[in-house]
Amino acid sequence: MSEVRDKKIDIKWIGVVAVLFGILLLANHGNELLKQLVITPLSAAELGIPADCRADELEEENISLLECRLMVANVQITLASSPDWFRPVMLLLASLGSLFAVLSVYVGISLFSHSKTKPLLVKICFGALLSTDLLMFIAASNTGPLLRAHYLSSILLWLFVHATLFSAVIVGLNREPKGID
């Protein structure tokens, strides 16, 4: 027969994981912000201006002429597949996601260091991350197939990471007799 013991979730480890994923998420949203700011309508790629794939630059970057042309095509795909509403929505969601990522690092450090952290702040932080992921999923789902192929795998990965963290936080905080000390 197996003996059932009271298993506690160590909230410190949730803090460590939150810091790690918070930093990675901040980098991810930073890349998305940069992409949305750089790949703009009426850019050279959208206007059909041929790529300036000079031999010296190709050698410096260690890419072939075909790879250079494919990078331009990738930008053209992004521009052609993006509805008018997509860019501002992604800018807003990536900005919010960046703020919540920084908050999750703060919350994670406070969980790890056993400082006074309000359980409500922890729940709001991870709930906000999960909500941002859901909104990004909805936005990406309402685009064309090429943009969906580009975005959905990453968004789904973050959605499951944040759903798992949110669940662990809810269970961990509910098992703590006084919340977080």
Note whether residue 169 is domain-resident.
Answer: yes
Q: Tokens representing 40?
A: 């703009």
Closest CA to 133 of 166, 110, 169: 166
Residue 2 lies in a domain: no
pLDDT > 90: what percent of the chain?
47
Total tally of structural domains belonging to the chain: 1
Range of the domain at 109: 11-175
pLDDT of residue 100: 97
The C-alpha angle 35, 39, 42, rounded to 5 degrees, equals 165
Confidence of residue 1 (pLDDT cuts 50, 70, 90): very low
For residue 6, tell me if it sits in a domain: no
In a domain, 43, yes or no: yes
- Model pTM? 0.81
d(CA 115, CA 15): 11
Within-domain flag for 136: yes
pLDDT the model gives residue 101:
97
Task: Please report the pLDDT score of residue 12 as a whole number.
Answer: 85
Classified as helix, coil or strand, 179 is strand
What's the pLDDT score for residue 49? 72
Asked if residue 72 lies in contact with residue 46, where contact means CB atoms within 8 angstroms, the answer is no
For residue 1, tell me if it sits in a domain: no
Whether 5 is in a domain gets the answer: no
Give the tens place of pLDDT for each residue, 102-158. Answer: 999 999 999 888 767 788 899 999 999 999 999 999 999 999 898 999 899 999 999
Task: Determine, yes or no, domain membership for 181.
Answer: no
Q: CA–CA separation, 123 vs 115, rounded Å?
A: 16
pLDDT digits (tens, 9 = 90+) for 52-69: 788 888 888 898 888 888
How confident is the model at residue 44, as a pLDDT? 66
Q: Indicate if the pLDDT at residue 88 is higher than 60.
A: yes
| Averaged pLDDT for residues 80-101 | 94
Question: What mean pLDDT is reported for the chain?
Answer: 86
Residue predicted with more confidence, 74 or 35: 35
* Alpha carbon distances (Å) from 168 to 42, 47, 175: 45, 49, 11
